[in-house]
């Protein structure tokens, strides 16, 4: 049987009262802020690490210290029978008066002020408590009682004890401790007995304290429980390429190497250490360790938050990695960083680093960047659509296909460099896929005159265009717009595939043809008119004046399944032989009506707005039969 641990302390003082608000404060700390009880162990390890850091400084400035040869370390032990955890360090330690001051902080440094702040500001406790520094007291979310034994590094001091149960009093007393440092004994309550297992402590250390700068030992095992070496805090010149890849795979359990990494260290305006990666694929594999988006946030190598989503804008959510920022104002639980100007500054710094890395990839490693673009380009487009402040920084990162380069990715700068003399706009066309876009009648004029048109077939392109109106003073224009001002025809000798002019219907025949279409189609179209925009196509659909643009229509269609596409204008090519022959058919000819219907529905189909494409099959069969006759 294990010897029962006596929580009593020698020479104990009379109970020393905390302020009357302490019970309420502890209740807030335990129930309002800490969403995971294991946080208490992280806090105690973090405090031990702080004590060791102070001791390292003392050793550099003072010679007369207790146990000068003692290794700076942290040790954890569990007693499964007694349900206790013991955390020991060889740090600076505390005298009796220092224990009264340091462990009575919640009474002396602002319990009443904290509660008043919450009441006056009607604020969430986690938003205002960061200034009180009472993380030690998270232990009472798991403890029946806590006993602290400590001896200062000063040789002429004596050891002392502190004892509390989480009520409104604590006791101070004597202690028998020869070595320097602090030992904390935690008697676990019934709801927290899961922590009285070595394997459980190892899990918590691995998750929260893996990169503490000092070795952590558990039980009798002399093998460190923490890795200690945080490569993001090293200089980039000290880290081998294989180490970067190994760390990424340990972080994510991704089998593939990352596309690229960013190792960033800065002293001002904030002291930051960051190591961020671009994965090879968007989709997380079934064994991927990172289950959510967000960076791991540390402060002085202590994990603060596993998935920190506000360190980068949402469109950079694919980035994996760690950020270690010192001196951030944290709430007492260290579970959430207070939203403030410093966090916004940190976000801006990291965002600029990611954007700069992508710019560098695009410039120096274009093939690698295209690999990135084909996997993650949708996120950059999302940023253009959503980020009012920084969208222009993303424009150079965009890549496109076009009518003249359908299989090649290129930038807007590349497009501008290929523009002919006199072209004043960047032209694009929207479609559901590259094949349907290539057959669009909206391209007739541009093909005939050798103008290059960007082909946008990604569903997110319609959203992107809401944030991409112009580039380098060139307006970006949809060739399907009904009110588009056509560019001047190419001069003789310039590239183009214009066809020989065909015989044109007379004015009377044109009017009669238009009337036949209006009569046949009725309210399904808002108007029927002649256009000179078409060369090889028989007809096209455009939006009437004042209607919602094609981009917004596509956005609404994706967001609302019940969205009804407004009636469009049907424009006819009077030079097309189909219309010439159609005009020669009698008005009451059934075949003429069938042809009009097919022209209309073919125009709907190529626009991607046909409600029932399969419904055209009987009519197509009818036309085939008529052709065979």
- Per-position DSSP letters for 436-480, written without gaps between them: HHHT-GGGHHHHHTT---EEE-STTHHHHHTT-SEETTEEEEETT
Looking at residue 127, its pLDDT comes to 39
CB 528 within 8 A of CB 513: no
CA nearest 596: which of 575, 570, 557, 562? 570
Is the model more confident about 561 or about 435?
435
* C-alpha 369 chain-centroid distance: 19
Q: How confident is the model at residue 493 (pLDDT cuts 50, 70, 90)?
A: very low
Asked if pLDDT for residue 610 goes beyond 50, the answer is yes
Is the model more confident about 568 or about 409?
409
Tokens of 289: 């360790």
Do you find a cis peptide bond into 269, omega within 30 degrees of 0? yes
Asked if pLDDT for residue 495 goes beyond 60, the answer is no
Is the model more confident about 21 or about 500?
21
Beta strand 525-530 pairing with 568-572: parallel
> Distance between CA 340 and CA 338 in Å, rounded?
6
Q: How confident is the model at residue 503 (pLDDT cuts 50, 70, 90)?
A: low
CA nearest 322: which of 288, 280, 274? 274
Strand partners, 181: 151
Span 88-117, pLDDT tens digits: 999 999 999 999 877 765 544 444 554 555
Looking at residue 111, its pLDDT comes to 47
* CATH of 16-218 among 3.40.50.1980, 3.10.180.10, 3.30.565.10, 3.30.365.10: 3.30.565.10
* C-alpha 296 chain-centroid distance: 12
Looking at residue 257, its pLDDT comes to 94
The number of C-alpha atoms within 13 Å of 347 and in the hemisphere containing its C-beta is 19
CB 487 within 8 A of CB 424: yes
CA nearest 338: which of 132, 41, 540? 132
- Mean pLDDT for 391-406 is 96
Cβ contacts of residue 358 below 8 Å, gap of 6+?
A: 369, 372, 380, 397
Fold of 400-498: Rossmann fold (3.40.50)
- Mean pLDDT for 65-82 is 95
Range from 232-246, 359-373, 571-585 that averages highest in pLDDT: 359-373
Q: Which CATH class is domain 231-365?
A: alpha beta
The correct answer on CATH 1.20.120.790 for the domain covering 503-629 is: yes
| Helices and strands (DSSP H and E) totals, the chain | 20, 21
Looking at residue 487, its pLDDT comes to 85
- Percent of residues, the chain, with pLDDT higher than 90: 50
Domain ranges of the chain: 16-218, 231-365, 400-498, 503-629
Span 316-325, pLDDT tens digits: 999 999 999 8
Looking at residue 1, its pLDDT comes to 37
How high is the mean pLDDT of the chain?
85
107-111, 316-320, 457-461, 527-531: least confident range: 107-111
Q: Cα-flanking dihedrals φ and ψ of residue 126, to 5°?
A: -65, -15
Is the model more confident about 300 or about 201?
201
The helix, strand and coil proportions of the chain, stated in percent and rounded to the nearest 5, come to 40, 20, 40
Burial class from Cβ neighbours inside 10 Å (0-12, 13-18, 19+) for residue 480 reads: buried
pTM: 0.72
Looking at residue 101, its pLDDT comes to 79
Asked if pLDDT for residue 331 goes beyond 60, the answer is no
Q: How confident is the model at residue 301 (pLDDT cuts 50, 70, 90)?
A: confident
Tokens of 217: 């030992």
The number of C-alpha atoms within 13 Å of 260 and in the hemisphere containing its C-beta is 23
138-142, 219-223, 284-288, 536-540: least confident range: 284-288
Looking at residue 119, its pLDDT comes to 55
Asked if pLDDT for residue 149 goes beyond 80, the answer is yes
Asked if pLDDT for residue 424 goes beyond 70, the answer is yes
Asked if pLDDT for residue 2 goes beyond 50, the answer is no
Range from 61-65, 226-230, 249-253 that averages highest in pLDDT: 61-65
16-25, 63-72, 511-520: least confident range: 16-25
Handedness of CA 401, 470, 440, 381 (dihedral sign): positive
Q: Give the CA angle between residues 377, 380, 381 to the nearest 5°.
A: 90
CB 140 within 8 A of CB 26: yes
- Mean pLDDT for 231-260 is 91
Tokens of 373: 């673009």
Strand partners, 86: 77, 185
Looking at residue 128, its pLDDT comes to 38
């Amino acid at each position: 049987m294990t010897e029962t641990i006596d929580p009593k302390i020698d020479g104990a003082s009379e109970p020393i009262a905390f302020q009357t608000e302490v019970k309420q404060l502890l209740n807030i700390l335990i129930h309002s802020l800490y969403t995971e009880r294991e946080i208490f162990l992280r806090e105690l390890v973090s405090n031990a690490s702080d004590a060791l850091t102070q001791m390292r400084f003392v050793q550099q400035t003072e010679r007369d210290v207790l146990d000068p040869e003692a290794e700076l370390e942290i040790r954890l032990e569990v007693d499964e029978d007694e349900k206790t955890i013991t955390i020991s360090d060889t740090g600076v330690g505390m005298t009796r008066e220092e224990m009264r001051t340091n462990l009575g902080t919640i009474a002396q440094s602002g319990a009443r002020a904290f509660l008043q702040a919450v009441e006056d500001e009607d604020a969430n406790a986690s938003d205002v408590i960061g200034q009180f520094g009472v993380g030690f007291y998270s232990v009472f979310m798991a403890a029946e009682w806590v006993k602290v034994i400590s001896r200062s590094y000063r040789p002429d001091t004596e050891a002392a004890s502190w004892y509390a149960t989480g009520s409104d009093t604590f006791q101070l007393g004597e202690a028998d401790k020869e070595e320097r440092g602090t030992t904390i004994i935690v008697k676990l309550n019934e709801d927290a007995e899961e922590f009285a297992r070595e394997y459980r402590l190892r899990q918590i250390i691995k998750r929260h304290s893996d990169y503490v700068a000092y070795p952590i030992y558990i039980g009798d095992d002399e093998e460190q429980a923490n890795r200690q070496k945080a490569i993001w805090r090293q200089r980039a010149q000290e880290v081998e390429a294989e180490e970067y890849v190994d760390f990424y795979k340990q972080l994510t359990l991704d089998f593939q190497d990352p596309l690229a990494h960013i190792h960033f260290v800065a002293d001002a305006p904030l002291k930051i250490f960051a190591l961020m990666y671009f994965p090879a694929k968007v989709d997380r594999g079934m064994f991927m360790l990172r289950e959510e988006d967000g960076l791991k946030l540390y402060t002085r190598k202590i994990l603060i938050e596993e998935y920190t989503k506000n360190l980068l804008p949402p469109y950079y959510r694919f980035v994996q990695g760690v950020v270690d920022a010192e001196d951030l104002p944290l709430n007492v639980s260290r579970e959430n960083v207070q939203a403030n100007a410093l966090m916004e500054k940190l976000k801006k710094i990291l965002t600029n680093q990611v954007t700069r890395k992508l710019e560098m990839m695009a410039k120096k490693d274009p093939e690698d960047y295209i690999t990135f673009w084909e996997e993650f380009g949708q996120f950059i487009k999302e940023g253009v659509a959503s980020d009012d402040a920084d969208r222009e920084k993303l424009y150079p990162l965009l890549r496109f296909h076009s009518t003249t380069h359908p299989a090649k990715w290129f930038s807007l700068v590349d497009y501008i460099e290929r523009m002919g003399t006199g072209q004043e706009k960047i032209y694009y066309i929207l479609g559901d896929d590259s094949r349907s876009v290539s057959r669009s009648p909206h391209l007739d004029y541009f093909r005939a005159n050798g103008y290059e048109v960007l082909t946008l077939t990604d569903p997110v392109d319609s959203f992107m265009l809401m944030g991409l109106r112009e580039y380098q003073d060139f307006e970006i224009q949809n060739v399907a717009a009904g009110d588009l001002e056509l560019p001047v025809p190419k001069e003789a000798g310039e590239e183009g595939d214009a066809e020989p002019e065909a015989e044109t219907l007379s004015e009377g025949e044109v009017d009669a043809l238009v009337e036949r279409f209006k009569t046949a189609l009725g309210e399904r179209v808002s108007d029927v008119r002649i256009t000179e925009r078409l060369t090889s196509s028989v007809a096209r659909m455009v939006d009437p004046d004042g209607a919602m643009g094609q981009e917004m229509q596509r956005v609404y269609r994706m967001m609302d399944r019940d969205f009804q596409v407004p009636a469009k204008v049907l424009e006819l090519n009077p030079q097309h032989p189909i219309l010439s022959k159609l005009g020669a058919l009698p008005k009451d000819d059934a075949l003429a009506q069938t042809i009009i219907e097919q022209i209309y529905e073919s125009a709907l189909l190529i626009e991607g707005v046909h409600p029932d494409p399969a419904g055209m099959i009987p009519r197509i069969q009818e036309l085939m039969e008529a052709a065979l006759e």
